[in-house]
């Protein structure tokens, strides 16, 4: 078993299936989940997912319908969704040599200003899985309105070892 897969198992973490849009939502997503270019992986914004790929609950604005703790947990689920997409694109999560940047967008109620606490859910999971040498990253966390009323969405940029490059897989 690969090192990162073993670490996920040790932590009791399971990667989710790809996003399954709600039946009542018709939306075209003409971009790649992961874009590989040279030694870089650019990961599009992902949302919190259940294991079956459906959008995790609760949805809503942090500081109103969603608590800080629930927002933190949602950000951890986003990190797992990123890992699932990276596993598919890279074939092996051990190819990740450095997490470079994470951009966290938090759906916030008016006056809520604790976006970094929510984004910590993502950062903490990446550091638990990859350790500080590979997992330490720069990060921004901002408050915005988000699609599908999800509490958090994140994108990331990583450094990867050689192998395939310039890979492109469009979302369904």
Q: Is 22 contained in some domain?
A: no
| φ, ψ of residue 81 in degrees (nearest 5) | -65, -40
- The strand order across the sheet containing 168-170 reads 138-144, 96-107, 152-160, 40-46, 32-37, 168-170
Q: Is 166 contained in some domain?
A: no
24 has pLDDT over 90:
no
Q: What's the length of the chain? A: 172
Pairwise CA distance, residues 106 & 151, whole Å: 6
Over range 85-92, report the average pLDDT. 97
Number of Cβ within 10 Å of residue 85's Cβ equals: 24
**Among residues of the chain, what percentage have pLDDT more than 70?**
94
Number of Cβ within 10 Å of residue 75's Cβ equals: 28
State which residues form the domain around 106. Answer: 3-11+31-159
Pairwise CA distance, residues 44 & 33, whole Å: 5
Q: Is 100 contained in some domain?
A: yes
Q: 3-class SS at 122?
A: helix
Q: pLDDT band at 167, cuts 50/70/90?
A: very low
pTM: 0.93
The CATH number for 107's domain is 3.30.1330.40
164 has pLDDT over 90:
no
The pLDDT, as a whole number, for residue 59 is: 98
Q: 3-class SS at 143?
A: strand
- Under a CB-based contact definition with an 8 Å cutoff, are residues 80 and 49 in contact? yes
Q: Is 117 contained in some domain?
A: yes
The pLDDT, as a whole number, for residue 1 is: 66
Q: pLDDT band at 26, cuts 50/70/90?
A: confident
Q: Is 165 contained in some domain?
A: no
Q: Is 172 contained in some domain?
A: no
How many domains in the chain?
Answer: 1
- Give tens-digit pLDDT for 95-117: 999 999 999 999 999 999 999 99
Q: Is 170 contained in some domain?
A: no
Q: Is 45 contained in some domain?
A: yes
Q: Identify any residues that bridge with 85 across adjacent strands, giving them in sequence order.
A: none
Instruction: Using CB atoms within 10 Å of the CB of residue 151, give its burial: 0 to 12 exposed, 13 to 18 middle, 19+ buried.
Output: buried
């Amino acid at each position: 078993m690969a090192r990162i897969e073993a670490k996920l198992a040790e932590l009791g973490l399971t990667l989710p299936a790809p996003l399954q849009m709600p039946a009542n939502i018709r939306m075209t997503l003409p971009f790649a989940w992961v874009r590989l270019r040279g030694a870089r992986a650019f990961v599009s914004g992902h949302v919190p997912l259940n294991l079956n790929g459906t959008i995790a609950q609760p949805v809503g604005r942090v500081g109103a319908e969603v608590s800080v703790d629930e927002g933190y947990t949602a950000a951890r689920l986003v990190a797992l969704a990123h890992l699932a997409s990276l596993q598919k694109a890279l074939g092996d999560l051990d190819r990740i040599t450095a997490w470079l940047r994470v951009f966290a967008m938090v759906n916030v109620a008016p006056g809520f200003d604790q976006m970094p606490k929510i984004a910590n859910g993502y950062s903490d999971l990446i550091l638990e899985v990859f350790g500080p040498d590979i997992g330490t990253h720069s990060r921004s966390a901002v408050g915005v309105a988000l699609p599908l009323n999800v509490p958090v969405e994140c994108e990331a940029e990583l450094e990867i070892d050689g192998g395939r490059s310039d890979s492109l897989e469009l979302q369904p």
